[in-house]
Structure 1
Amino acid sequence: MQKNLFQSRIRLRHLHCFVAVAQEQNLGRAAAKLTLSQPAVSKTLSELEELVGARLLERGRHGATLTPQGEVFLVHAVGVLEALGAAGRAIGPEEAPTLATVSIGTLPTAALDLLPNALGAFRETNSNTRVVVQTAANAMLLAMLKAGEVDFAIGRMADPELMVGVSFELLFVEPLELVTRPGHPLAIDGGASLEAVLDYPLIVSPRGTVPRHNTESFLQSRGLRLPANVVEMLSVSLARLMVQRFNYVWCVSSGAVRDDLEKGLLARLDLSTVGTEEPVGLLRRSESTLSASALDLISLIRNAATPQRGG
Structure 2
Amino acid sequence: MELYGRIRLRHLTCFVAVAHERHVGRAAERLHLSQPAVTKTINELELLAGMKLLDRGRHGAVPTAAGERFLDHAERVVQAFDTAVAGLAGAGESEHTTVRIGALPSAASVLLPEVLGELRAQHPELDVRLRTATNTELLAALRAGDVDVMIGRMSDPDTMAGLSFELLYAEALAFVVRPGHPLVGTRATFPAMCEYPLVVGVAGTVPRHHTDVLLRRHGLELPPGTVETLDVAVAAAYTRESDAVWVAPERVPGRDIADGRLARLPVDTVGTAETIGVIRSAAAASAIVDDVAALLRRAGHGTVGT
Which residue number in structure 1 is paired with residue 279 of structure 2?
283
The aligned counterpart of 2:206 is 210
Deviation readout 1:216-253 (Å, 9 max, x if unpaired): 11222233333354211101111111111111101011
Does residue 138 of structure 1 match 2:132? no
Alignment map for 1:145-156 (pairs within 5 Å): 145-156=142-153
Deviation at 1:159, TM superposition (A): 2.0
After TM superposition, the structure 1 = structure 2 runs for residues 141-220 of structure 1, keeping only pairs within 5 Å, are: 141-187=138-184, 189-220=185-216
The aligned residue for residue 271 of structure 1 is 267
CA-based RMSD? 3.1
Q: How many residues align?
A: 234
Q: Aligned AA for 1:240? A: A
Q: Deviations over 1:151-180 (max 9, x none)?
A: 110000112222222221111001111001
In structure 1, what is the Cα distance between the partners aligned to 2:203 and 2:182? 28
Distance 1:293-1:223 versus aligned 2 partners, 3 A rule = same
Task: Give the conservation status (yes or no) of the 8 Å contact 2:195–2:223.
Answer: no
Contact 1:129–1:293 (8 Å) recurs in 2:
no
How far is the alpha carbon of 1:280 from its aligned partner? 0.5
Which residue in the other structure is 2:255 paired with?
Answer: 259
Q: Which runs of 5+ in 1 are unaligned?
A: 1-5, 16-51, 56-78
SS at match of 1:196: helix
Query: Could you report, residue by residue, the CA deviation over 1:48-91 in whole angstroms, capped at 9, with x for unpaired residues?
Result: xxxx9559xxxxxxxxxxxxxxxxxxxxxxx9xxx8xx79x97x
Query: Partners of 1:96 and 1:110 in 2: how far apart?
Result: 32
Question: What amino acid does structure 2 have at the position aligned with 1:232?
Answer: E
Identity over aligned pairs, percent? 42
Q: Secondary structure at the match of 2:208?
A: helix
Distance of aligned partners of 1:278 and 1:12 in 2 relative to their CA distance in 1, 3 Å threshold = closer
How far apart are the structure 1 equivalents of 2:298 and 2:186? 35
Unaligned runs of 5+ residues in structure 2 are 1-23, 34-56, 61-77
Cross-structure match for 2:298: 303
Q: Residues 99 and 148 of structure 2 are in contact (CA less than 8 Å); yes or no, is this contact kept in structure 1?
A: yes
Contact 1:108 1:256 in 2 (8 A): no
Q: Secondary structure at the match of 1:117?
A: helix
Instruction: Give secondary structure in 2 for the equivalent of 1:295.
Output: helix
- TM-score with structure 2 setting the length: 0.69
- Post-superposition CA distance 1:11-42 (Å, at most 9, x none): 78989xxxxxxxxxxxxxxxxxxxxxxxxxxx
In 1, the alpha carbon distance for the partners of 2:257 and 2:130 equals: 25
1:11 & 1:119 partners in 2: Cα distance? 34
Q: Secondary structure at 2:288's aligned position in 1?
A: helix
Give, as a single letter, the amino acid of the residue that structure 2 aligns with 1:273: T
Partner of 2:113 in structure 1?
116
Q: Who is 1:61 aligned against?
A: none
What is the alpha-carbon distance in structure 2 between the residues aligned to residue 234 and residue 289 of structure 1? 27
Q: Confirm or deny: 8 A CA contact 1:204 1:233 kept in the other structure.
A: yes
Question: Where does residue 222 of structure 2 map in the other structure?
Answer: 226
Which aligned runs of 4 or more in structure 1 are off by greater than 4 angstroms? 10-15, 52-55
